């Protein structure tokens, strides 16, 4: 029985939080591939570490509790987690994906699963009517992200779950940008939640990993089978790093979001900034839906410089914020979607989607907000043409 009722406490004490064999307050890194058995044909709890490992099991029970699901599963990357989830489907099945899903999700469907006869269709999940109209008999699932990269597009979780269930679709949410502290898609009716734990869950830019949480015991059994059969599991040390990351998730996310709110408000007032995309801003499209389903605006901001500024001068002018792929770490990172994360999209289409050459994506870290603002200010001012 749980003797607490708040998620902040779950981050520290949730799941299997102490070692069942020694009482160690941290579940140790069980760095082993196999386990001694007493005799043949016995009923053993641990037999082989692809199938199960105590450190990974501690993490899996923890993430299941945090997302409010039936079971959790840890993988070697966010893409391994998504691959396991897509492996639930078969030849002839079609999956709807929202227009701004992570590039790797699009790529694995387009280049790998299409070879096995699983098709996909890009759909605007912010338009509920268009979404429902896209559902044909072969459509078996939808994969959404909210807020989605890089324009922080908001999808209504409850509405998508309702429409999905009316048509027997499996509703899948990639909750990487929000974490279970800010948003829990299962509470809004979603069936499966996926994370790139490389981002906020790990939180320190030192691990690549992924997680899956299932709501229905039937799906839990199938994902457990797929995890063991295809083998993309997280190792014991990476599982430990995720548990360690989760312990501070609540305080980190509060600080991340506080900083982001301050920075977004600052950028909005800067003459050199044309548009700021941040769900925490009052006028932002989808602001109300987002605040119905999430605790705050999160810590991802995109913004566009006006034509009077040269983007090529902006990036090298930054002195504190690092230009790099990825997000969700304690340190602030920026990227240039047009040439980095979204470079594979043809320029015309990219601009139509709003991903212009002057768009900057910022993953706000937990440094002092004034230091970050000073760095942004001098870099913007320095890139004036």
Ligand X SMILES: *Cc1c(COP(=O)(O)O)cnc(C)c1O
Peptide bond into 181 cis (omega under 30): no
- The residue (of 21 and 237) whose beta carbon lies closer to ligand X is 237
Per the annotation, the verdict on 106 as an active-site residue is no
Residue nearest to ligand X as judged by C-beta position: 78
Q: Is 338 one of the binding residues for ligand X (CB under 6 A)?
A: no
Q: In DSSP terms, which residues pair with 172 in a beta bridge?
A: 143, 192
- The residue (of 135 and 233) whose beta carbon lies closer to ligand X is 233
Q: Is 342 one of the binding residues for ligand X (CB under 6 A)?
A: no
Q: Is 156 one of the binding residues for ligand X (CB under 6 A)?
A: no
**Touching ligand X, residues 70-129 (CB under 6 A):** 77-79, 102, 104
Task: Map tokens 């001694």 to a residue.
Answer: 36
Min dist. Cβ of residue 198 to ligand X (A): 4
User: Would you tell me the crossing angle of helices 54-67 and 236-247 to the nearest 10 degrees?
Assistant: 40
- The residue (of 186 and 208) whose beta carbon lies closer to ligand X is 208
Q: Is 210 one of the binding residues for ligand X (CB under 6 A)?
A: yes
Alpha-carbon gap, residue 125 to 158, rounded angstroms = 12
- Tell me, rounded to whole angstroms, the distance of Cα 53 from its chain centroid: 24
Structure tokens at 71: 């079971």
Per the annotation, the verdict on 174 as an active-site residue is yes
- Judged by CB under 6 A, the residue of 208, 234, 246, 360 near ligand X is 208
- The residue (of 64 and 79) whose beta carbon lies closer to ligand X is 79
Alpha-carbon gap, residue 220 to 65, rounded angstroms = 14
Per the annotation, the verdict on 199 as an active-site residue is yes
Q: Is 145 one of the binding residues for ligand X (CB under 6 A)?
A: yes
Q: Is 202 one of the binding residues for ligand X (CB under 6 A)?
A: no
Radius of gyration of the chain (CA): 21
> Which phi and psi angles does 246 have, rounded to 5°?
-65, -30
- The residues, ordered by sequence, that sit 6+ positions from 351 with a Cβ below 8 Å of its Cβ are 357
Per the annotation, the verdict on 102 as an active-site residue is yes
> Which phi and psi angles does 335 have, rounded to 5°?
-145, 165
Q: Is 60 one of the binding residues for ligand X (CB under 6 A)?
A: no
Q: Tell me the window of 122-130, 151-159, 195-203, 249-257 that interacts with ligand X (CB under 6 A).
A: 195-203
Structure tokens at 251: 């305080």
- The residue (of 14 and 232) whose beta carbon lies closer to ligand X is 232
Instruction: Provide the terminal-to-terminal Cα distance of the chain, rounded to the nearest Å.
Output: 63
Q: Is 155 one of the binding residues for ligand X (CB under 6 A)?
A: no
Min dist. Cβ of residue 105 to ligand X (A): 6
Q: Is 176 one of the binding residues for ligand X (CB under 6 A)?
A: yes
* Contact call for residues 255 and 263 (beta carbons, < 8 A): no
Q: Give the residues lining the site for ligand X (CB under 6 A).
A: 77-79, 102, 104, 145, 174, 176, 196, 198-199, 208, 210
Task: State the catalytic residues.
Answer: 50, 102, 174, 199
């Amino acid at each position: 029985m749980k003797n607490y009722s708040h998620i902040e406490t779950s981050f520290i004490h949730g799941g299997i939080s102490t070692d069942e064999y020694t009482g160690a307050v941290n579940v140790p890194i069980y760095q082993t591939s196999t386990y001694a058995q007493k005799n043949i044909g016995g009923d053993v709890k641990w037999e082989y570490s692809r199938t199960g490992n105590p450190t990974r099991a501690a993490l899996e029970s923890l993430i299941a509790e945090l997302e409010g699901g039936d079971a959790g599963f840890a993988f070697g990357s966010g893409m391994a987690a998504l691959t396991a989830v897509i492996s639930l489907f078969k030849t002839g099945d079609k999956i709807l994906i929202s227009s701004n899903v992570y590039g790797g999700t699009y790529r694995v469907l387009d280049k790998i699963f299409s070879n096995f006869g699983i098709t996909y269709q890009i759909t605007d999940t912010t338009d509920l009517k268009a979404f429902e109209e896209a559902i044909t008999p072969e459509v078996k699932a939808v994969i959404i992200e909210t807020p989605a990269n890089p324009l922080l597009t908001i999808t209504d979780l409850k509405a998508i779950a309702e429409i999905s269930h009316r048509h027997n679709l499996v509703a899948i949410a990639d909750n990487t940008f929000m974490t279970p502290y800010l948003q829990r898609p299962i509470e809004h009716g979603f069936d499966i939640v996926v994370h790139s734990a490389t981002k906020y869950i790990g939180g320190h830019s030192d691990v690549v990993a992924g997680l899956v949480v299932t709501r229905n015991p039937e799906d839990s059994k199938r994902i457990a089978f797929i995890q063991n059969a295809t083998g993309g599991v997280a190792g014991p040390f990476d599982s430990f790093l995720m548990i360690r990351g989760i312990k501070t998730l609540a305080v980190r996310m509060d600080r991340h979001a506080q900083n982001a709110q301050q920075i977004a408000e600052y950028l909005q007032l800067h003459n050199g900034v044309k548009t700021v995309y941040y769900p925490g801003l009052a006028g932002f499209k989808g602001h109300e839906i987002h605040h119905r389903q999430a605790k705050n605006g999160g810590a991802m901001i995109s913004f566009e410089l006006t034509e009077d500024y040269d983007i090529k001068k902006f990036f090298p002018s930054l002195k504190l914020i690092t230009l790099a792929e990825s997000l969700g770490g304690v340190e602030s990172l920026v990227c240039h979607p047009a040439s980095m994360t979204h470079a594979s999209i043809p320029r015309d289409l990219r601009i139509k989607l709003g991903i212009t050459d002057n768009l900057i994506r910022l993953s706000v870290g937990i440094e002092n907000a004034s230091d970050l603002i000073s760095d942004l200010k001098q870099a913007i001012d320095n890139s004036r043409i």
